[in-house]
């Protein structure tokens, strides 16, 4: 028979019986199974690699974001030389361990196939200048903050009060140095309180003490602090005495004395004034009166002026007549004001209270000497005046504020170090009540150790007779 035309048949002569199957060798089966297992393993490994790469990228981005957040919250704290961030005290900063762990995950071999992840093996925190997002706290910032912390602890905020000042009661804080008063040193300064009232400071060391404990010394309100003098020497010139009497003490009616002028010579104070008998006679000006005599110091720091000569109209002796009548000067011209009074035939000054605020605290008036230049007062104290540092700028005329807290021109100086100098020639003339107007026409700069140096002009625009001259001032940015 001829074979039938059937495409499903093999090219084998068929008989009437079903054809037998051709057996497959065992080696071929084994080879096929091996290939299938190899393909499956490769597919699984590729999927795992892709999954690991994506996880590594996510971990890297999470580490970077956490690092950025940590750096912004911690203020970019300093480092101690190790690869992990540290704070100013040298302890590990919060979050540094988690950042380190994330860095190790990022650098694991499973992520070697991710070409966009930088290799940080051996990295010690050096700032990445190409991609800042993938840098932890930049080394530059850490080093700067570390140095600033050292300067704050050892220089800028380090308390070094003079020996006589109260020592710190607690560690310095951002708004409190822990020192209860402010050290002050002045040399060759015309110190004016207000309206030409003041004195010339040849030299002085002391402290400014706030009236309310715990508050800064407020230069805007001299009533809120007093000047405690440790040692020094001041000269009250004749014009200073005249301004004190005419512009501050004799500003009431009816008064016994008016239009005071003064002269000084060796051991003698001469006073020219208009005297009103019993405060009313005559009703205008007063009788022209001249008094002459020495000034002495008492044990309780009072200044006693005892006129040895009293004349009226320039030629008529008055004191012999009063003595003959058993009368005293205080009987004819009663006079008593804060810090000064006429008692018997003596005029008594209290230097602690006779001047406008701030009040003075004087441990001891060592001497009072009258010369042609004025009344020179010398102060001493059992309190040590040691420990005053040299001011930052060498000068023969300055005001130097050291330690403690002071409110100066609206700024609280914590652990104050402030030097005031004349911006022109000659000694500094410092006007306490007008210091803001004086400082506004000057300059200020900072020294590397944190001290502030203010240069002020002696002459500045200010009208003592116009208390409303600054009513037009407005805060910056405020509407007109």
Give the tens place of pLDDT for each residue, 175-210.
Answer: 788 899 999 999 999 999 987 899 999 999 999 999
pLDDT category, 475, cuts 50, 70, 90?
low
Output the CA–CA distances (angstroms, integers) from residue 234 to 202, 221, 226, 378, 442, in the order listed. Answer: 5, 23, 17, 7, 26
Tokens of 97: 């361990």
* Most confident by average pLDDT, 104-113, 273-282, 373-382, 409-418: 373-382
**Has residue 124 got a pLDDT over 60?**
no
In a domain? residue 92: yes
Are 230 and 251 members of one domain? no
Coil, helix or strand at residue 443:
strand
**Has residue 236 got a pLDDT over 80?**
yes
Determine the pLDDT at residue 157: 66
Are 79 and 65 members of one domain? yes
Determine the pLDDT at residue 26: 59
| Phi and psi at residue 312, to the nearest 5° | -115, 145
Are 37 and 109 members of one domain? yes
Range of weakest confidence among 86-90, 466-470, 473-477: 86-90
**Helix ranges restricted to H, 271-342:** 319-325, 329-332
Are 275 and 209 members of one domain? no
**Has residue 413 got a pLDDT over 60?**
yes
Determine the pLDDT at residue 12: 39
pLDDT category, 133, cuts 50, 70, 90?
very low
| Mean residue pLDDT across the chain | 75
| Average pLDDT, integer, range 269-280 | 84
Determine the pLDDT at residue 64: 44
E-strand ranges in 308-441 read: 309-312, 316-317, 336-337, 340-343, 346-349, 360-362, 364-371, 374-380, 398-402, 406-408, 411-413, 417-422, 428-431
Are 248 and 226 members of one domain? no
Q: Which residue has the tokens 């100013």?
A: 88
Determine the pLDDT at residue 348: 96
Are 75 and 144 members of one domain? yes
In a domain? residue 287: yes
In a domain? residue 392: yes
Determine the pLDDT at residue 286: 80
**Has residue 448 got a pLDDT over 70?**
yes
| Average pLDDT, integer, range 165-171 | 71
**Has residue 114 got a pLDDT over 50?**
no
Output the CA–CA distances (angstroms, integers) from residue 338 to 249, 335, 352, 424, in the order listed. Answer: 8, 10, 10, 37
Tokens of 33: 């199974």
pTM attached to this predicted model: 0.64
**For the stretch 254-277, what's the b/e string if a residue is b when 16 or more beta carbons lie within 10 angstroms of its beta carbon?**
ebbbbebebbbeeebbbbebbbbe
Query: In the chain, what percentage of residues exceed pLDDT 90?
Result: 41
Distance CA 374, CA 261 (A): 13
Are 224 and 334 members of one domain? no
In a domain? residue 412: yes
Determine the pLDDT at residue 95: 41
C-alpha closest to that of 223 among 194, 262, 249, 250: 194
Total tally of structural domains belonging to the chain: 3
Cβ contact 290:269 at 8 Å: no
Cβ contact 241:257 at 8 Å: no
In a domain? residue 141: yes
C-alpha closest to that of 236 among 397, 373, 79: 373
Q: Which residue has the tokens 């084998």?
A: 12
Cβ contact 194:432 at 8 Å: yes
Range of weakest confidence among 6-15, 49-58, 181-190, 352-361: 6-15
**Has residue 48 got a pLDDT over 70?**
no
Give the relative orientation of helices 96-106 and 26-74 as an angle to the nearest 10 degrees.
150
Are 54 and 89 members of one domain? yes
C-alpha closest to that of 356 among 433, 436, 434: 433
Are 54 and 72 members of one domain? yes
Distance CA 467, CA 449 (A): 39
In a domain? residue 218: yes
In a domain? residue 296: yes
Are 52 and 146 members of one domain? yes
Tokens of 277: 């008998």
Determine the pLDDT at residue 374: 97
Coil, helix or strand at residue 186:
strand
In a domain? residue 219: yes
Cβ contact 272:235 at 8 Å: no
CA 284-467-337 angle, to 5 degrees, is 45
**Has residue 50 got a pLDDT over 60?**
no
Sheet architecture: strand order including 336-337: 295-297, 303-305, 346-349, 340-343, 336-337
**Has residue 365 got a pLDDT over 90?**
yes
Are 331 and 217 members of one domain? no
Are 233 and 249 members of one domain? no
pLDDT tens for 319-351 read 777 777 667 888 778 888 899 999 999 999 999
* Domain containing residue 274: 242-356
Burial class from Cβ neighbours inside 10 Å (0-12, 13-18, 19+) for residue 151 reads middle
Range of weakest confidence among 83-97, 133-147, 236-250: 83-97
């Amino acid at each position: 028979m001829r074979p039938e035309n059937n495409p499903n048949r093999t090219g084998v002569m068929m008989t009437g019986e079903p054809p037998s199957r051709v057996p497959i060798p065992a080696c071929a089966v084994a080879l096929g199974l091996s290939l299938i297992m190899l393909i499956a393993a490769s597919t699984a490994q590729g999927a795992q690699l892709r999954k690991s790469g994506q996880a590594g990228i996510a971990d890297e981005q999470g580490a970077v974001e956490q690092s950025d957040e940590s750096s912004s919250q911690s203020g970019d704290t300093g480092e101690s030389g190790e690869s992990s961030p540290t704070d100013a005290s040298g302890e590990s900063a919060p979050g540094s361990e988690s950042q380190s762990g994330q860095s190790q995950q990022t650098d694991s071999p499973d992520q070697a196939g991710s070409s966009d992840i930088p290799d940080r093996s051996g990295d010690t925190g050096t700032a990445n200048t190409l991609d800042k997002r993938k840098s932890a706290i930049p080394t530059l910032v850490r080093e700067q903050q570390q140095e600033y912390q050292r300067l704050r602890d050892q220089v800028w905020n380090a308390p070094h009060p003079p020996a006589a000042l109260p020592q710190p009661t607690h560690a310095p804080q951002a708004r409190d140095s822990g020192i209860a008063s402010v050290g002050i040193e002045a040399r060759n300064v015309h110190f004016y309180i207000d309206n030409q009232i003041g004195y010339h400071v040849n030299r002085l060391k002391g402290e400014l003490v706030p009236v309310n404990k715990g508050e800064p010394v407020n230069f805007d309100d001299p009533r809120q602090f007093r000047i405690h003098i440790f040692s020094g020497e001041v000269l009250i010139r004749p014009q200073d005495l005249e301004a004190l009497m005419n512009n501050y003490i004799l500003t009431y009616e009816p008064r016994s004395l008016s239009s005071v002028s003064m002269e000084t010579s060796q051991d003698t104070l001469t006073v020219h004034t208009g005297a009103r008998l019993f405060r009313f006679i005559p009703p205008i000006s007063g009788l022209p009166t001249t008094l002459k005599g020495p000034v002495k110091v008492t044990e309780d720091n009072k200044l006693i002026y005892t006129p040895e000569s009293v004349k009226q109209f320039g030629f008529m002796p008055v004191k012999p007549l009063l003595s003959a009548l058993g009368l005293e000067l205080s009987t004819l011209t009663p006079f008593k004001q804060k810090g000064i009074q006429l008692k018997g035939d003596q005029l008594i000054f209290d230097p602690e209270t006779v001047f406008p605020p701030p009040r003075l605290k004087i441990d001891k008036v060592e001497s009072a000497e009258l010369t042609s230049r004025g009344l020179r007062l010398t102060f001493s104290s059992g309190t040590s005046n040691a420990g005053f540092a040299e001011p930052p700028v060498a000068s023969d005329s300055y005001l130097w504020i050291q330690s403690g807290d002071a409110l100066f021109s609206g700024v609280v100086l914590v652990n104050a170090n402030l030097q005031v100098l004349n911006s022109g020639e000659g000694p500094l003339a410092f006007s306490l009540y007008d210091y803001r107007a004086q400082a506004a026409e000057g300059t200020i700069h900072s020294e590397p150790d944190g001290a502030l140096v203010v240069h002020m002009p002696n002459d500045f625009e200010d009208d003592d007779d116009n208390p409303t001259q600054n009513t037009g001032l407005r805060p910056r940015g405020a509407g007109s």
